[in-house]
């Protein structure tokens, strides 16, 4: 990665930081390219079991960089929408540590994540109507995450949802004092990683792939995925460790 996105892998966790604080972490082509590289590594690297995404500065993401001169695109860099759709199909846990306002396309990252930890200073919103434009992530995701009238109330007014209201509506998993944001995200990561990574990834895969299909097909899909995990080394280790009354040693294989 480069300057627009900081990327580091430690102890099977990928730490991804949007790093254009001077531009309120607005998504320009450089950031999209580097975030695409980070997501690709998270998705395909066997050494990565989980990812934490946050932002540098006071804003998590202000959405598309409206001041960037439209670059010539050759198809090698995902669009804003393609990025959060790609994120949605990474079958590894993604925790968002939302450090401040999370707006527009940033909301796509939030509602396609698995765990949302929000600073007390954070908010979630789609202000596009105030600028005479519409949104993709707002209407396609928010009405499926909270009651319709609540979603429309925020989207049609272009008003942000404060962190505590996100918690009340069931969007956020936890709201913490600002200085405790990353420690809280790492605490959630540590609890998830106490479990077998392949089993955790399978849970997400079955849930995500089954989200929009009928129940019987969801059940068969989940069974196929669960059977695949049963063949793993970690599955055998988990059963042996249970019998021996010890903590299992996961390998991600």
**187 & 208 share domain:** no
Shared domain for 63 and 114, answered yes or no, is yes
Indicate if 52 and 177 belong to the same structural domain.
yes
The pLDDT tens digits for 9-43 are 999 999 999 999 999 999 999 999 999 999 999 99
Tell whether 182 and 214 lie within a shared domain: no
Give the whole-angstrom CA distance, residue 146 versus residue 157. 16
Question: Is residue 94 within 8 Å of 51, Cβ to Cβ?
Answer: yes
E-state strands within the chain: 5-10, 13-18, 50-55, 94-98, 101-103, 115-119, 123-125, 161-162, 174-176
Mean pLDDT of 223-245: 86
Give the model confidence (pLDDT) of 157-169 as tens digits.
Answer: 999 999 999 999 9
Q: Domain check: are 96 and 213 in the same one?
A: no
Q: 34 and 138 share a domain?
A: yes
Residues 151 and 108 in one domain: yes
CA atoms within 13 A on the CB side of 140: 14
Give tens-digit pLDDT for 115-141. Answer: 999 999 999 999 999 988 899 999 999
Q: Does some domain include residue 71?
A: yes
Q: Domain residues for 139?
A: 5-192
- The pLDDT > 90 percentage for the chain reads 73
For the full predicted model, state whether its pTM sits above 0.85. yes
Total number of domains in the chain: 2
Mark whether 220 and 124 lie in a shared domain: no
């Amino acid at each position: 990665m480069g300057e627009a996105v900081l990327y580091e892998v430690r102890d099977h966790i990928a730490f991804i930081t949007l790093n254009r604080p001077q531009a309120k972490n607005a998504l320009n082509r450089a950031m999209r390219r580097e975030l695409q590289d980070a997501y690709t590594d998270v998705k395909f690297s066997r050494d990565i079991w989980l990812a934490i995404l946050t932002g540098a500065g006071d804003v998590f993401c202000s959405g598309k960089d409206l001041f960037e001169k439209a670059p010539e695109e050759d198809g090698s860099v995902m669009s804003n929408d393609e990025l959060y759709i790609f994120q949605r199909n990474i079958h590894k846990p993604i925790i968002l540590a939302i450090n401040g306002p999370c707006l527009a396309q940033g909301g796509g990252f939030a509602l396609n994540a698995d765990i949302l930890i929000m600073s007390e200073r954070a908010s979630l919103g789609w202000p596009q109507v105030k600028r005479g434009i519409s949104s993709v992530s707002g209407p396609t995701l928010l009405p499926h995450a909270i009651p319709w009238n609540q979603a429309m109330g925020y989207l049609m007014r272009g008003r942000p949802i404060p962190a505590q209201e996100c918690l009340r509506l069931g969007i956020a998993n936890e709201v913490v004092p600002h200085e405790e944001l990353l420690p809280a995200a790492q605490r959630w990561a540590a609890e998830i990683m106490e479990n077998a990574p392949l089993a955790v990834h399978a849970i997400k895969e079955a849930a995500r792939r089954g989200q929009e299909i009928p129940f019987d097909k969801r059940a068969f899909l989940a069974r196929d995925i669960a059977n695949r995990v049963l063949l793993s080394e970690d599955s055998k280790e988990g059963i042996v460790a249970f019998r021996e009354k010890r903590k299992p040693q996961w390998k991600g294989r």
